[in-house]
Amino acid sequence: MRFSSSIAGLAAGFMLALASIGAAQEYPSKPVRLIIPYPPGGGADIIARIIAQKLSAALGPQVIADNRGGANGIIGTEIAARAPADGYTLLFPSSPHTVNISMVANLPYDTVRDFTPISLVATTPYTLVVHPSMPVKSVKELIAFAKARPGNIDYASGGSGGSPHLAMELFKSMTGTDFVHVAYKGVGPALVDVLAGQVQVFFANAAPALPNIKAGRLRALGTSGAKRSAVSPEIPTVAEAGVPGFEASAWFGVIAPAKTPPAIVSRLNSEIVKFMRAPDTAERLHGISAEVLTSTPQEYARVIEADIDRWGQLVRKLGLRGN
């Protein structure tokens, strides 16, 4: 009986494998929806539309970019979590995907169990900038200046719990400094007040910051990536400029509902990695101050798990958890 059960189990597994391969061979036979859980016009939206265009060319049927923004990505992510796991609904999350699990007490989905990672596609570092009126020209000088004036220097963010906010809080915790948080309703208004000198310090998105840095309206002290940005290699990383181990870049990737057939996941990963490594893709990303970053599904899963742990610790320390 045990032998028969083993044979039956092997047969069932074999049939499932054949079904997965068959699904991948037929896939896709209709348009694929790529849900962008953020509003139109931002960095995630621009990169996602590049991915949708490239993936359409690779797969045949059109990949439709579908913005479902709101609640820091939660609304669109819930839609994807509840979609059929057949490869016809994909999600384009960014770094907030791994923060929401710590920020929101009652998420309508499980960040890990409800999704299957496919591939990372890009990364964008933030740039630590100060208004030119600030008498500091390096990260070390900013740290010394802040320590001499605890609680007297403001920093901007696009909203409580967003990536620039957490990046600065990580900077504070690693340097023992005390800056005052000024939260705005979006990174655009935050940048406007930093340019006007109303707020002194900001971890800015690279794309809108670089023209202002070149024009002398902002002073760049460091970038938040693990290595210097290919877009602005003259700017040192915050880590090499005085805070060893600091890293707080934004990443972007493609994931699918949990239990999407492995063969479909494998095919999508292969196609995405192929066109992301093409020179024209890198050139288009550089135009918006982003860099290509690809991965295997397993590597992407490890990034998600590591970020959940890292940002979760910081969110709990700051007491930012909501309802």
Token representation of residue 300 = 């992407």
Token representation of residue 287 = 């135009």
Is the pLDDT at 126 greater than 70? The verdict is yes
Per residue in 21-70, pLDDT (tens digit) is 555 568 999 999 999 998 888 888 999 999 999 999 999 999 999 999 98
Q: Give the separation between CA 310 and CA 279, rounded to whole angstroms.
A: 33
> What is the pLDDT, as a whole number, of residue 205?
87
Token representation of residue 230 = 């290919």
CA quadruple 304, 310, 316, 320: dihedral sign: negative
Q: Distance between the two ends of the chain, CA-based, in angstroms?
A: 52
Mean pLDDT calculated for residue range 240-249: 95
Mean pLDDT (the chain) is 91
Is the pLDDT at 2 greater than 50? The verdict is no
Say if strands 291-292 and 126-130 run parallel, antiparallel, or are unpaired.
unpaired
| Tokens 């967003």 -> residue | 162
Token representation of residue 280 = 């024209």
CA quadruple 162, 168, 172, 175: dihedral sign: positive
Is the pLDDT at 5 greater than 60? The verdict is no
- Domains of the chain by residue range: 13-124+250-318, 126-223
Name the architecture of domain 13-124+250-318: 3-Layer(aba) Sandwich (3.40)
> What is the pLDDT, as a whole number, of residue 239?
97
- Judged on CB neighbours under 10 Å (0-12, 13-18, 19+), 23 is middle
Global confidence as pTM: 0.84
> Please, which pLDDT band fits residue 206 given cuts at 50, 70 and 90?
confident
**∠ CA 267-271-275 to the nearest 5 degrees?**
170
> What is the pLDDT, as a whole number, of residue 289?
87
Instruction: Return the H-helix or E-strand segment holding 33.
Output: strand 32-36
CATH topology of domain 126-223: D-Maltodextrin-Binding Protein; domain 2 (3.40.190)
Per residue in 63-96, pLDDT (tens digit) is 999 999 988 899 999 999 999 999 999 999 999 8
> Please, which pLDDT band fits residue 99 given cuts at 50, 70 and 90?
very high
Q: What percent of the chain has pLDDT over 70?
A: 91
Query: Are 13-124+250-318 and 126-223 equal in CATH topology?
Result: yes
Q: Give the separation between CA 56 and CA 32, rounded to whole angstroms.
A: 9
> What is the pLDDT, as a whole number, of residue 287?
87
